[in-house]
Amino acid sequence: MVSMAIPTSISRLAAYYTRHGLGPTIRRFALAMRRTLFSNRAVLFYCDLSRQTSAPPDLPNFLKVERKRSCVELNPQDLDQIVNVWNPKLAHRRMQERFDRGASLWLIKFHDRLAGYGWTLQGRIIAPYYLPLAEDDVQFFDFHVFPKYRGRAIDWFLMTHALQMLAVDGATRAFAEAGEWNQASLSSIAMTSFRRLGWARKFTIFRHTIVCWDVEGVACHVPERPSRRFVAATDRKPSDVVR
């Protein structure tokens, strides 16, 4: 996400150092600095759930989506895999806080193995947001597909399924965001029913959050509804996956 708190960034970097060593950590830090200085807007997306009138799409038989509302509903392997994406101790605490606030964790399984996950929260926010949300609004955040499953539209399946399920539950609008540098995420969101709302920067100073909107969105390319990818991505064989 675009506006990460400094302690969170330090903890992520420390976890990265433990796993990858000094050289890659320096390169990762330089990349984070470049993004903070030169491509620090979020692209905001919106979806009108009242238009999601159909039932959730049938998933191919090798995919399964599960919705979890507490840590105890997760099996230990899935929990481990999720918290190990970065600092496990902090990730565990954050996960508990999210469930305590009523968030849902959506898992997507590929042949019964965890391929990705994402969070949604209805009627409340997890951190200062770009705009006020109403009771039936849902925020999508922290979607993640594990590297060996990327490029197969897994994120699309998960978001689309969650959108439909939330619409059935009576949610009215959904919001999502991606960093303007995050082409994979932008491309994946653009394939779903989400529509672009605009570009924004968010700063929190002395507990006051300032949001600057950039309606024109100059110099940031977000693909408009690509049509070819869905078929192409689901047609890919497991052997095509970049490991």
Ligand X SMILES: CC(C)(COP(=O)(O)OP(=O)(O)OC[C@H]1O[C@@H](n2cnc3c(N)ncnc32)[C@H](O)[C@@H]1OP(=O)(O)O)[C@@H](O)C(=O)NCCC(=O)NCCS
Which region, judged by CB under 6 A, interacts with ligand X, from 11-19, 20-28, 127-135, 143-151? 143-151
95-108 burial by CB neighbour count: b if 16+ within 10 A, else e? beebbeeebbbbbb
Q: Which is nearer to ligand X, 43 or 166 (CB)?
A: 43
Is residue 81 within 8 A of residue 137, CB to CB? The reply is no
Q: Contact with ligand X (CB under 6 A): which of 154, 166, 174, 197?
A: 154
Is 143 a binding residue for ligand X by CB under 6 A? The answer is yes
Return the residue nearest ligand X (CB atom).
151
Helix axes 183-190, 154-168, angle to 10 degrees: 50
Is 108 a binding residue for ligand X by CB under 6 A? The answer is no
Which phi and psi (to 5°) does residue 66 adopt? -125, 145
Nearest-angstrom CA–CA distance, 18 and 141: 26
By rule CB under 6 A, what count of residues binds ligand X?
A: 20
Nearest-angstrom CA–CA distance, 157 and 127: 26
How far apart are CB 129 and ligand X at their closest, in Å? Answer: 14
Is residue 102 within 8 A of residue 146, CB to CB? The reply is no
Is 68 a binding residue for ligand X by CB under 6 A? The answer is no
Residues in the chain: 243
Nearest to 194 by CA among 176, 211, 213: 176
Query: Which 185-204 residues touch ligand X, going by CB under 6 A?
Result: 185, 187-188
Q: Contact with ligand X (CB under 6 A): which of 31, 127, 184, 210?
A: 184
Terminal-to-terminal C-alpha distance of the chain: 24
Q: Contact with ligand X (CB under 6 A): which of 152, 164, 167, 180?
A: 152
Q: Contact with ligand X (CB under 6 A): which of 78, 137, 155, 180?
A: 155
Is 98 a binding residue for ligand X by CB under 6 A? The answer is no
Q: Contact with ligand X (CB under 6 A): which of 99, 106, 130, 156?
A: 156
Q: Which residues are near ligand X by CB under 6 A? A: 143-145, 147, 150-156, 178, 182, 184-185, 187-188, 229, 233, 242
